[in-house]
Amino acid sequence: MTDIDAWIDGAQRMRRSVLIYQRPDLVAELDTINQEMTTAKAAGLDIGDYESRWESTARAFADSGLRVTVQGQTMDEITAAKAAGVGDDDEQASARLLAAAIISPLMTSEQVMRLRDAIGDAQVDVITSAWRSACFDPPPMGPEADDD
């Protein structure tokens, strides 16, 4: 028999983590190098220089990554975060809600808004999707889970 109090005391909220990139602009450079490499291959030319450029650019892109971890929130916490900013516009309210959920690296709502301006909506939406999953999706079930 499970000691339910001990089980609850050890329970943790679901967390999700995603990578965002400081330098997604390098994707266009990678596209260009790929096109140049394809043309050079078709012409029978040496592609060693293209491969070197691609590897260094890909490394710079990967190195610009930042892992962001969010933790699921209860409906009471979500409601409280929304209510805390009376008079906020939708963007400010969304930033406050996301900042409350981000556990690594810690961010203020102002930093979340700056982040959105710096890297764009698409990447911040990746964080938001992870937050939604942490709040509303059940954890993945392992093979030992049974439906009885």
DSSP letters spanning 52-111: HHHHHHHHHHHHTEEEEEEE---HHHHHHHHHTTTT--HHHHHHHHHHHHEEES---HHH
More confident residue, 138 or 86: 138
Residue 2 lies in a domain: no
Q: Quote the CA–CA distance of 142 and 148 in Å, as a whole number.
A: 15
Domain count, the chain: 1
Q: What does the pLDDT look like over 4-17, one tens digit per residue?
A: 999 999 999 999 99
* 49 domain-assigned: yes
pLDDT at 146: 56
Per-residue pLDDT tens over the stretch 88-102: 788 888 999 999 999
84 lies in a domain?
yes
CA-CA distance, 143 to 131, in Å (whole number)? 25
Q: Does residue 8 lie in a domain region?
A: no
Domain membership of residue 30 as a residue range: 14-136
The answer, yes or no, to whether residue 66 has pLDDT greater than 70, is yes
- Kindly tell me the number of DSSP H helices and DSSP E strands found in the chain: 7, 3
Distance (Å, whole) CA 39 – CA 43 = 6
- Tens digit of each residue's pLDDT (9 = 90 or more) over 43-53: 999 999 999 99
Question: Binning pLDDT at 50, 70 and 90, where does residue 2 land?
Answer: confident
Provide the pLDDT for residue 141: 82
